[in-house]
Every structure is written in C-alpha cells, then in structure tokens.
C-alpha cells in the first residue's frame, strides 16, 4: 500500500522549465538564433553544467558578454516566477494526500534555497514533511539518491512511496529507487521519451487524487 508521495519541484509544482526555456528563446532570438527544444530537454531534471550562453556562442560563432546576459536571465526569470501560480491541481493533490494521512516529501535536483523560496511564495512549503535537494546528495537525478533519501526521511521504504515527476531524468531516478511513478509532463517535457511508469496525466486536475491512489494500489496488489 502507498503510504507516502514524493513530489519533484521544477516543472511539476511550478513550471519553471517552460518559463526558463521561453526567456532563453527570446534572448537567443536577439542574436538571430534559437535554442532547440531537444537540446534543452537534455538539461531538464538534472545538472550537467550546460551553459546556454556558451552554446549560443558556438551557434553564432562570436563572443558574447556572459555576465550581462546571465544577470538579465536571472532577473527576468525571477520576476516571472514570483508572479506564477502552481500548476493546476497541485495544491488539491497535496490537500488530499494530507487528508488521507499520507506522508508528503519532495526530491529536487535544484538546491534548497531555490526550492524553499518558491514553495513559500506559492504558499505550499508547509505541506512537505521532508525536502531533499542537490545539497543532500553527491549525484542528482537520474541517480536514485534523492528519492532514496526522501523516502528514508519520511520513515518509509521506497516501494511504499509514489513519485510525481515531469521529466525523463526524474522518472528514471524514481524507478531506479524502486518507487512507482506518475508523470505529469509540461509544455517543454511532454515530447520526452519516458521510461515505463505507472501512470501519465496531462494535469493533476484531470483525475481526483483518491482515485489515482486507488488505481496505483490496485496495480501493487495485482503484481
């Protein structure tokens, strides 16, 4: 039986990934270039050290002012995210999980400062009993460490948890940890090739949480 849920953050709770991509596209367009969605998808849900502005330099074959562009990106991104609401159905799922007595955790490849700041701005921070981020592990997703540590923090075995993810790297991390996984892709991740997961939703608003949990528990029983 499922005793806990563990949410990803970026792209799942707050659609940071779509906004990040759109802002970068606007900046690339200023140089008559574009950032291919397939290239950006490689960076979603993990950390590879990819620099979009170094990539832009390669595309246009000229040097650009990285520091200025990075500051502009940071400011535009922050302003947009502070205005943004959580994705549809997210808070309903968190409320329902709490009402059902499930433990609620979060596992993110971003750092704690980033995650906590925007969770607080959304008014969702207090739903989470445990938050594990890149500050807590040597390797982020698709390595399973974040999900394993989040489950341990909740006092649960991985198989007693279900992860909610929006990216291929995140889903792979959850499955490698031994968890069930529900994917809720966003605008920039819906075309990704995902590993085999228990269920896919276009939005958490599409299916009541209790129905989803009943369905997932049914899968466990039938195995």
Phi, psi torsion values for 10, nearest 5 degrees: -60, 125
Average pLDDT of the residues in 53-76: 92
Flag the least confident range among 47-56, 156-165, 198-207: 47-56
Contact 130, 154 (CB under 8 A): yes
The whole-angstrom separation of Cα 173 and Cα 194 is 11
CA distances from 180 to 111, 175, 215 (A): 24, 6, 12
- Check whether 222 has a pLDDT greater than 70: no
Contact 44, 17 (CB under 8 A): yes
The DSSP bridge partners found for residue 5 are 104, 162
**Helix/strand/coil for 170:** helix
- Check whether 16 has a pLDDT greater than 70: yes
Structure tokens at 7: 């949410």
pLDDT of the residue at 47: 77
**Helix/strand/coil for 5:** strand
66/3: higher pLDDT: 3
Q: What is the pTM of this model?
A: 0.90
Q: What angle, rounded to 10 degrees, do the helices at 16-29 and 52-60 form?
A: 30
Active-site residues, by number, are 8, 10
Q: How far apart are the first and last CA of the chain?
A: 12
In sign, the C-alpha dihedral spanning 214, 218, 221, 223 is: negative
Closest CA to 212 of 162, 139, 140: 162
Phi, psi torsion values for 199, nearest 5 degrees: -165, 155
Task: Give the mean pLDDT of the chain.
Answer: 94
Residue 85 DSSP class? P
Flag the least confident range among 51-55, 86-90, 93-97, 125-129: 51-55
- Check whether 45 has a pLDDT greater than 80: no
CATH topology of domain 4-15+86-222: Rossmann fold (3.40.50)
Annotated domain spans of the chain: 4-15+86-222, 16-83
Phi, psi torsion values for 52, nearest 5 degrees: -60, -30
Please state, as a whole number, how many other Cβ atoms lie within 10 Å of the Cβ of residue 7: 25
């Amino acid at each position: 039986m499922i005793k806990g849920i563990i949410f990803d953050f970026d792209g799942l709770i707050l659609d940071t990934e779509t906004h990040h991509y759109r802002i970068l596209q606007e900046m690339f367009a200023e140089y008559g270039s574009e950032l291919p969605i397939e290239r950006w998808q490689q960076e979603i849900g993990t950390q590879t050290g990819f620099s979009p502005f170094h990539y832009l330099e390669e595309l246009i074959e000229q040097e650009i002012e990285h520091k200025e562009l990075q500051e502009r990106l940071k400011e535009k991104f922050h302003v947009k995210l502070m205005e943004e609401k959580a994705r549809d159905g997210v808070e309903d799922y968190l409320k329902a999980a709490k009402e059902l007595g499930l433990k609620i955790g979060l596992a993110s490849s971003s750092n704690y400062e980033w995650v906590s700041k925007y969770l607080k701005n959304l008014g969702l921070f207090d739903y989470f009993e445990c938050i594990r981020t890149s500050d807590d592990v040597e390797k982020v997703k698709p390595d399973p460490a974040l999900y394993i540590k989040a489950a341990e923090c909740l006092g649960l075995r991985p198989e007693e948890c279900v992860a909610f993810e929006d990216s291929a790297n995140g889903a792979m991390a959850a499955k490698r940890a031994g968890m069930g996984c529900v994917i809720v892709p966003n605008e920039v991740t819906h075309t990704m090739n995902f590993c085999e997961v228990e269920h896919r939703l276009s939005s958490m608003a599409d299916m009541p949480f209790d129905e989803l949990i009943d369905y997932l528990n049914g899968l466990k029983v039938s195995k």
